[in-house]
Amino acid sequence: MGRLDGKVVIITGAGMGMGQAAALLFAKEGAKVAVVDWKAEAGEETVKTIKQAGGEAIFIKADVSKAADAKNMVRTTVDTYGKLDVIYNNAGILARAAFTENITEEEWDRIMAVNLKGIWLGMKYAIPEMLKAGKGSIINAASQCGDRGTRNLGAYCASKGGVLALTRVTAMELAKKNIRVNALNPGIIATPMALTASKEEQEGFAAIIPQGRMGRPEEVAYAALFLASDESSHVTGHTLVVDGGLEVDNKQVIQPSPLR
């Protein structure tokens, strides 16, 4: 028995990184997975890997920032599998590091379109299908940046802070309708994006994490699995942090005194 047996799941941004890790894990746990990505080659590779392992999946090409694409990914999933139990709105992009006054309007708009509007659109079209079924689980990818902020990433942090607020509001709206809405706050995760950084930068990432290392995509995937499964049936409006202690860390400046 898998933890997601019989469930139909949409995962956006599932062509690589955290989304891909979740797609592989969810399929292994018995879910039928709609792999959504704007890069066809990457998404199709995820589907191929799932099928080779004996799982069931389809690929849907979509730009989550476009309403027509978001509507189509939900419709195609339901047409294929007959229902929708879970949507994991994982797709997101990272901004160019810049002081707030140096962020361009184009950069701001694109970050908001993908990271915040994309999650709203995913929920907008998934919720009616979940209402028909009388149940569902929505997982929204936020970030520790949405809580504590990261210098030079103003647009990105603002988009993720918006995700957290939208998640809480939607959770309240749907609580009595048996649809749960939760957020994931990953920290610095060793995705292909992070691993393009120099060795020195990667060492710097690890150095500021209390556990002393970057997280692994599969560690975030297991957190998402809990929220997708019936094991979290009494969890809604929650933000699950997966960051090795980064968010709660306050860098030690006051040295402890020796015991007397």
Structure token pair of residue 14: 């599932």
Distance in Å from the first CA to the final CA of the chain: 56
Read off the pLDDT of residues 213-245 as tens digits, 9 standing for 90 and up: 999 999 999 999 999 999 999 999 999 999 999
Read off the pLDDT of residues 142-153 as tens digits, 9 standing for 90 and up: 998 888 888 899
DSSP letters spanning 108-155: HHHHIIIIIIHHHHHHHHHHHHHHHHT-EEEEEE--THHHH--TTBHH
Which residues, 6+ apart, have CB-to-CB distance to 101 below 8 Å?
Answer: none
Q: Enumerate the active-site residues.
A: 156
What structural domains does the chain harbor?
A: 8-186+216-240 (3.40.50.720)
Share above pLDDT 90 across residues of the chain, in percent, rounded to a whole number: 83
Q: What are the Cα distances from residue 41, in Å, to 15, 18, 220?
A: 8, 17, 23
With a cut of 80, say whether residue 193 has pLDDT above it: no
Q: CB-side exposure of 102: number of CA atoms within 13 Å?
A: 8
Q: What are the Cα distances from residue 131, in Å, to 18, 30, 111, 180, 206?
A: 28, 23, 30, 11, 43
User: Where residue 178 falls among pLDDT bands split at 50, 70, 90?
Assistant: very high
Label residue 79 exposed, middle or buried (CB < 10 Å: 0-12, 13-18, 19+): exposed
With a cut of 70, say whether residue 257 has pLDDT above it: no
The one-letter code for the residue type at 217 is P
Nearest residue to 13 via CA among 47, 39, 31: 39
Nearest residue to 58 via CA among 86, 36, 91, 78: 36
Nearest residue to 64 via CA among 90, 94, 27, 33: 90
User: Where residue 162 falls among pLDDT bands split at 50, 70, 90?
Assistant: very high
With a cut of 60, say whether residue 253 has pLDDT above it: no
Which residues, 6+ apart, have CB-to-CB distance to 216 below 8 Å?
Answer: 21, 189, 190
Q: How does the average pLDDT of the chain come out, rounded?
A: 94
